[in-house]
Amino acid sequence: MNILKTTFKDLIILEPTVYRDERGSFMESFNEARFRVETGLNVTFVQDNESISVRNTLRGLHFQVPPKAQAKLVRVAHGAAWDVVVDLRVTEPTFGRWFKILLSAENKKQLFVPEGFAHGFWTVEEHTIFSYKCTNYFSSDCDRSLLWNDKDLNIDWGIEQPILSEKDRNALTFAEFKSPFF
């Protein structure tokens, strides 16, 4: 596994080793011991989630606030998506900044998203399967969303009229959100 650090504290790109031959390919998508040793992060994942989306679906920007905040390890098992995160940790120099990466079944990249980040993605292929490993269980009481096209965040998604849920159409603006993350 190749570990690539970003300019955001603890936001890490993982590139698994893929073995290919005439039969196809094999990769280890997650190994807890190797993850801890190679990333230096001591996290425990307790819930796996999967979404299947049609092309041009945008999901996000989602996160959970304390005491049920979540870190996530995300990847695309089928298709492709632009993955976007926003740093909500007020004491970090990257507070309010966003990061974007293409995750796909072809490139096999994964992104570790620490607690204190809003997360979303835009599917660029039909039938995109997006997988999440989460460090905390889902809590509707702690579930929050930021507006995907918030003018203060100014995220370059690459799409102007995505398919959105009601929740994502009515999310908070960045100015309305008071961050509990430090």
**Which is the catalytic residue, given 19, 119, 127, 132?**
132
pLDDT over 70 for what percent of the chain? Answer: 100
Is the bond preceding residue 61 a cis peptide, omega within 30 degrees?
yes
Annotation marks residue 78 as catalytic: no
- Nearest CA to 135 among 88, 73, 89? 73
What architecture does CATH give domain 2-169? Sandwich (2.60)
* Spans of all domains in the chain: 2-169
Give the amino acid at 28.
Answer: E
Q: Which residues contact 41 (CB under 8 A, 6 or more apart)?
A: 10, 12, 35, 112
**Side-chain half-sphere CA neighbours of 149 within 13 A:** 11
Is pTM, for the whole model, over 0.85? yes
pLDDT of res. 143: 98
- Nearest CA to 61 among 165, 146, 122? 146
State pLDDT tens for residues 5-46: 999 999 999 999 999 999 999 999 999 999 999 999 999 999
State pLDDT tens for residues 114-162: 999 999 999 999 999 999 999 999 999 999 999 999 999 999 999 999 9
Q: Which residues contact 93 (CB under 8 A, 6 or more apart)?
A: none
Annotation marks residue 132 as catalytic: yes
